[in-house]
Amino acid sequence: MDLHFTDEELAFRDEVRRFIAENLPQDIRRATRRAPSYVSREQLVRWQKILGAKGWLAPAWPKEYGGPGWNAVQRYLYDEEYQAADCPRVSPFGVQMVGPVIYTFGSEAQKRAYLPKILSSEHLWCQGYSERGAGSDLAGLQTRAVRDGDDYVVNGHKIWTSHAHHADMMFCLVKTDTRVKPQQGISFLLIDTKTPGLTIRPIVSIDGNHYLNEVFFDDVRVPVANRVGEEGKGWTYAKFLLGNERTGIAGVSKSKRKLERLREIAALEREDGGILADDASFRARMAALQAQNTALEYTQLRLLARDRDGRGVGAESSMLKIRGSEIEQGLNEMLVEALAYYAAPYEPAAVREDWNEPPVGPDYGFGLMNERLLRQAATIYGGSNEIQRNIIAKAVLGL
């Protein structure tokens, strides 16, 4: 197993670095540093169009559907440079999640209708999965879709729907058959968020910002032509989608960037003259997280080497998700601790470009708190870590 990068791969890394340096607008870079999760729709679409024109918006897509056709190692190197340069996170719901489902399982009409609009950023998407009482137990969802001629009539409710207020389209799991076991009665629908009867209500977070939403369906009519694949096979397509999501949740490159920011904050001199980085206990904890992230990186590289050899990754992606989300939580806790009272005078409006008041203490308090550092959901979204351990036990260890 060769974990060294080839000369061609290193040349590719340099190309990515140059392109980002020359093309990422400075206002978008600043906005990303201050509040990665709250970059405006206008800024996000503007940056995605720049990537789309280069053919780099969808790194994992094959060439026949508009992607660059990169291998797994190229995608890894691209992500390294992307995170290091403070690029905004591309909306994952279209590019990373539903796009691969459509080009793998969708009809030719669906591919023609939706894939180009994802790549052009004409359509932004959101994910209609979770419901009250059906989060980690997704098979227990209750939103119903009843066939009526050429339409389904959808009634029900979704919650924790990220960026639904920015989305043009939603991919949604619905119950189309209640007479069979739960996993066999689910279908996968593509729904226009402007359809009559669909209502989006904001969930305002404790930081005062709007990222999450509830979505209500009241006799929403969805054409049968918008069903992906076969009726009742939605669970299969959902598992495929979640596999793609879990691989990305490892977040090695993102955690490297957070470690850099943690070091910067810990090195600041405080009002009492002390420096947090001088504390041996804090340094030891920071070093432990760095060691864990390095170990995760080499695990990811081993899986990438296997994928490069044509053997695929498979259920081992659950290992990346577990450790990556635990490292993220550990870094978030240390960042909040390092900010200390500088996070207390937190002002959500400070993320705006027109905010002209000086920060109270280091400016990190705005961006880091806006990144929802107090959120502990990293081990839940994409499939809870308890579920991932069951997958590893069954599919990897054969227990």
Cα→Cα distances 336→11, 31, 47, 174, 279, Å: 38, 20, 29, 39, 16
Q: φ and ψ at 125, to 5 degrees? A: -115, 160
> For residues 45 and 122, what is the distance between their CA atoms, to the nearest angstrom?
8
> For residues 255 and 276, what is the distance between their CA atoms, to the nearest angstrom?
20
> For residues 267 and 351, what is the distance between their CA atoms, to the nearest angstrom?
24
Is 75 buried (19+), middle (13-18) or exposed (0-12) by CB count in 10 A? middle
Q: Which amino acid is at 2?
A: D
- Residues annotated as catalytic are 245
User: Are the C-beta atoms of 268 and 362 separated by less than 8 Å?
Assistant: yes
> For residues 264 and 387, what is the distance between their CA atoms, to the nearest angstrom?
36
> For residues 256 and 83, what is the distance between their CA atoms, to the nearest angstrom?
9
Any idea what the Cα angle at residue 128 is, between residues 227 and 396, rounded to 5°?
Answer: 90
> For residues 324 and 270, what is the distance between their CA atoms, to the nearest angstrom?
31
Is 194 buried (19+), middle (13-18) or exposed (0-12) by CB count in 10 A? exposed
